Amino acid sequence: MTRPASRKPRRPAAALPDVAPKKAPTQSRAVETYERILATAAELLGEVGIERLSTNLVCRRLGLSPPALYQYFPNKYAILHELGQRLMQRQNELLGPWATPATMSLPEDEFARSVAEVFLQTLRVTQEMPGGVWVTRALRAVPSLQDVRTQSHDAMTELLMQMFL
């Protein structure tokens, strides 16, 4: 006779943090503040990593009050989301001019060199962006940020498929 397996009750999945920015800045001073928040967060990300990054840390470094930051970003994940969007966009812009039917007709050795070069350019973009490597890690590690990466990859896959048409 077999005993029924006892099951632990499932815990409900934790809600994912909101990653949408609260509002887009319109006035020049507000745009400057928005960009300073992003630049400071990227810099801090490279210094302290994903786990230790916080909106309070960003505010302290900037000399900004938390309510001023919260006008634009509800939490650190929204900041990381915007940084991730920007990184993916910069990487995608490199692939666009390369992914053409003409590239597919290159001799094999030239094609291989062009593939290596576009990958190296993408790597350089990531390394040159303040906190870029950490942004990439966040896009993989934080569930609420994974859509940024996968949507970018889906768009680039579609672009690459067009090379064959």
CB-neighbour burial class of residue 140 (10 A; exposed 0-12, middle 13-18, buried 19+) = exposed
Residue 67 lies in a domain: yes
What is the domain extent for residue 70?
A: 28-162
Determine the Cα–Cα distance for residues 149 and 142; give it in Å rounded to an integer.
Answer: 11
Check residue 23 and give its pLDDT: 74
Asked if pLDDT for residue 156 goes beyond 80, the answer is yes
Rounded (5°) CA angle 145-147-153: 125
Residue 23 counted as domain residue: no
* Residue 128 belongs to some domain of the structure: yes
pLDDT of residue 26: 85
Q: Is residue 138 part of a domain?
A: yes
Centre a 10 Å sphere on the Cβ of residue 106 and count the other Cβ atoms it contains.
Answer: 13
pTM above threshold 0.85 = no
The domain that contains 135 carries what CATH number? Answer: 1.10.357.10
Determine, yes or no, domain membership for 66: yes
CA distance 48 to 38: 15
Q: What percent of the chain has pLDDT over 90?
A: 73
**Count: domains in the chain:** 1
DSSP 8-class letter at 20: S
Question: In this structure, is residue 14 part of a structural domain?
Answer: no
Higher pLDDT, 99 or 23: 99
Of 44, 37, 42, residue with least CA distance to 87: 42
DSSP 150: H
Q: Is residue 12 part of a domain?
A: no
Query: Quick one: pLDDT band at residue 104, thresholds 50, 70, 90?
Result: confident
pLDDT of residue 90: 95
- The answer to whether residue 21 sits within a structural domain is no
Residue 111 is predicted with a pLDDT of 94
161 confidence band (pLDDT: 50, 70, 90) = confident
